[in-house]
A and B are shown apart, each in its own frame.
Chain A
Amino acid sequence: MDSNIYVENILDHYHNPRNFGKPEKFDIYRNEFNPLCGDKISVFIKLNKNIIEDIKFTGNGCAISQAAASILTEHIKGKDIEEIKQYGEHQIMELLGIKISHLRLKCALLSIKTIQNALNQ
């Protein structure tokens, strides 16, 4: 874990987000908003039975919220939705590989919250 949260990987995902944009076809859509920061994330998920076949996102906000969405969407493609529904803070922190302060945790967790709310709706 690095004490500087703006490590190369995070900044790379922030400047060049993967899976960014609204796809033409998707099965589930959800957007969430973090009122404290103004961070916004929308996710578009295409399912093949229980498997996340494709996922894309749009949004704007701080580097952490946007990089986390990019990294997470890359990671969960091809995974079972039941597995994703179990994800918590621990899994996201491992994926990001940085130490997030309590006050910025909401930014880091916005994308998983949006995805889980999409899958549970």
Chain B
Amino acid sequence: MKLMSKYLDVEKIKEDFPIFQRKIGNNQLIYLDSASTSHKPISVLDSISNFYKLHNSNVHRGIYTLSEEATTLYEESRLKVANFIGANDNEIIFTHGTTESINMVAKSLFSSYLKKGDEIITTNLEHHSNFVPWQYLSKKYGLKLIIWEISKEGNLDLGKLENLITDKTKLIAVTHISNVLGTINPIDKIAKIAHKNNSLILIDGAQSVPHTQINVKELNIDILAFSGHKMLATTGIGVLYVKKDILDKIDPSSFGGGMISQVTQEDSMWAPIPWKFEAGTPNIEGAISISAAIDYLNKVGLNNIHNHEMQLSKYASDLLVKIPGLQLYGPNIKSGIISFNLGKIHPHDISTVLDTQGIAVRGGHHCCMPLMKSLCINGTTRASFYLYNTFEDIEYLSKFLLKVKEVFK
């Protein structure tokens, strides 16, 4: 019997995504790599095309109709993003993606907030984008980077954090959802511990904002970074949310057009927030695509998407664990991200065989080398889900993993 989602009409949703009309070889596309990037609904694609057909011009520059329209669309997108995460629009900075968001705020914090001798806590669960900037800048500026290590099950233990945090801790940088293990971290509790100790908290929301409702005020998050392309929008657009009172205190880290109010030969004054953090012509169509993506996500309902993915995740864990020789990683309760190894078969060999059946999964270290080291492995194969995935997709995966075993027997 075909299992149907209790929360979403997936067949209807799939019709909105043109990519599912194509074939991979002779096979239907089974896309299980949304943690890497998501596909785009037609409404998002149309929003970009409409922008170029009807409103194309630069923002905040020209005093003519097209520029006013482009500026309005761009700033409306900012407001929509702000509402989506419960922020104010002057706390939303458009960037090129999560990586740039973290790098940008890291440089600003190091140049105008953090001091030599301060401590930063991050975890060994992080994607390199929320690890390498802190490692590099801490070394360069003489700060101490402390690693909060995960438990065997792949969870972060709050008791351990209480032991690591000191009065020198100025920042805790942690992912909301692990891109490898699917671990969902208790952000609200981490934020409480951080603030009790006068530390800021930065959240890598790349794997959470597209999949679950987040309210930065309720969770009391100081800094949040996420990407457009993982939430149905295009590549090259990302978001950096920073609390207003912090934004007012820190310097920009990128300089040029658009971010100034006045420039003389001797000195420059910055534009008000958030614009002082947006140097150069921004990714206008990217911002517009995020707006269309949020409309689509709101229409479907983020809670429905989250519940649907939790169901898929449980179903996948239960089904895959039955395959002899298959090892699952991560905690029992996880988001729609499943990592595994199948005997000694290399993840890239698994991916290649699955691709011959139209199944797209990710294999490798997933930009998490410290995590791989802590798990004593070189990599995993990862299947990740989104609103367009079905129970059938997981059954296909399970069926063809048996074929992989057959090839490498």
Whether B346 lies near A11 (C-beta < 8 A) is no
In the complex, how many angstroms separate the beta carbon of A105 from the nearest chain B beta carbon? 12
- Residues 2-21 of chain A: 1 if any B CB is under 8 Å from the residue's CB, otherwise 0? 00111000010000000000
Chain A binding site: helix, strand, loop or mixed by DSSP?
Answer: loop
Residues of B within 8 A of A4 (CB): 356
- Given the known interface contacts A37-B346, A62-B348, the answer about A6 and B364 at a Cβ–Cβ threshold of 8 Å is no
Whether B364 lies near A37 (C-beta < 8 A) is yes
Give the nearest-CB partner of B344 in chain A: A60
Given the complex of chains A and B, what is the CA–CA distance between A116 and B52 in angstroms? 50
In the complex, how many angstroms separate the beta carbon of B25 from the nearest chain A beta carbon? 9
- Given the known interface contacts A37-B348, A62-B346, A63-B349, the answer about A11 and B408 at a Cβ–Cβ threshold of 8 Å is yes
Whether A38 lies near B408 (C-beta < 8 A) is no
A79 is an interface residue with CB less than 8 A from chain B: no
- Given the known interface contacts A5-B352, A62-B346, A63-B346, the answer about A38 and B407 at a Cβ–Cβ threshold of 8 Å is no
- Given the known interface contacts A4-B356, A11-B407, A63-B408, the answer about A38 and B378 at a Cβ–Cβ threshold of 8 Å is yes
Residues of B within 8 A of A39 (CB): 346
- Given the known interface contacts A6-B407, A11-B407, A61-B346, the answer about A38 and B379 at a Cβ–Cβ threshold of 8 Å is yes
Other-chain residue from B348, B378, B379, B408 in contact with A107 (beta carbon distance below 8 A): B348
- Given the known interface contacts A11-B407, A11-B408, the answer about A6 and B353 at a Cβ–Cβ threshold of 8 Å is yes
Given the complex of chains A and B, what is the CA–CA distance between A104 and B379 in angstroms? 16
Given the complex of chains A and B, what is the CA–CA distance between A107 and B351 in angstroms? 14
A36 is an interface residue with CB less than 8 A from chain B: yes
In the complex, how many angstroms separate the beta carbon of A3 from the nearest chain B beta carbon? 8
Residues of B within 8 A of A61 (CB): 346
Residues facing A in B326-361 (CB within 8 A) are 346, 348-349, 352-353, 356
Given the complex of chains A and B, what is the CA–CA distance between A39 and B365 in angstroms? 12
Give the nearest-CB partner of A14 in chain B: B408
Whether B364 lies near A36 (C-beta < 8 A) is yes
- Given the known interface contacts A61-B346, A104-B348, the answer about A37 and B356 at a Cβ–Cβ threshold of 8 Å is no
Counting residue pairs across A and B whose Cβ atoms lie within 8 Å, the total is 32
Given the complex of chains A and B, what is the CA–CA distance between A5 and B378 in angstroms? 22
In the complex, how many angstroms separate the beta carbon of A103 from the nearest chain B beta carbon? 8
Give the nearest-CB partner of A15 in chain B: B408
Given the complex of chains A and B, what is the CA–CA distance between A38 and B352 in angstroms? 16
Whether B364 lies near A62 (C-beta < 8 A) is no
In the complex, how many angstroms separate the beta carbon of B5 from the nearest chain A beta carbon? 32
Whether B352 lies near A104 (C-beta < 8 A) is yes
Residue among B346, B353, B378 with max Cβ neighbours from chain A (10 Å): B346
Residues of A within 8 A of B348 (CB): 37, 62, 64, 104, 107
Residues of A within 8 A of B378 (CB): 38
Give the nearest-CB partner of A101 in chain B: B352
- Residues 347-389 of chain B: 1 if any A CB is under 8 Å from the residue's CB, otherwise 0? 0110011001000000011000000000000110000000000
- Given the known interface contacts A4-B356, A104-B348, the answer about A37 and B408 at a Cβ–Cβ threshold of 8 Å is no
Given the complex of chains A and B, what is the CA–CA distance between A64 and B352 in angstroms? 11
Given the complex of chains A and B, what is the CA–CA distance between A110 and B364 in angstroms? 17
Other-chain residue from B353, B379, B407 in contact with A37 (beta carbon distance below 8 A): B379
Give the nearest-CB partner of B404 in chain A: A6
- Residues 59-87 of chain A: 1 if any B CB is under 8 Å from the residue's CB, otherwise 0? 00111100000000000000000000000
Residues of A within 8 A of B408 (CB): 6, 11, 63
What are 25 inter-chain pairs, A to B, with CB distance below 8 A? Answer: A6-B349, A6-B353, A6-B407, A11-B408, A36-B364, A37-B346, A37-B348, A37-B364, A37-B379, A38-B364, A38-B365, A38-B378, A38-B379, A39-B346, A62-B346, A62-B348, A62-B349, A63-B346, A63-B349, A63-B408, A64-B348, A101-B352, A104-B348, A104-B352, A107-B348
Given contacts A104-B348, A107-B348, 20 further A-B contacts (CB under 8 A): A4-B356, A5-B352, A6-B353, A6-B407, A6-B408, A11-B407, A11-B408, A37-B346, A37-B348, A37-B364, A38-B378, A61-B346, A62-B346, A62-B348, A63-B346, A63-B349, A63-B408, A64-B348, A64-B349, A104-B352
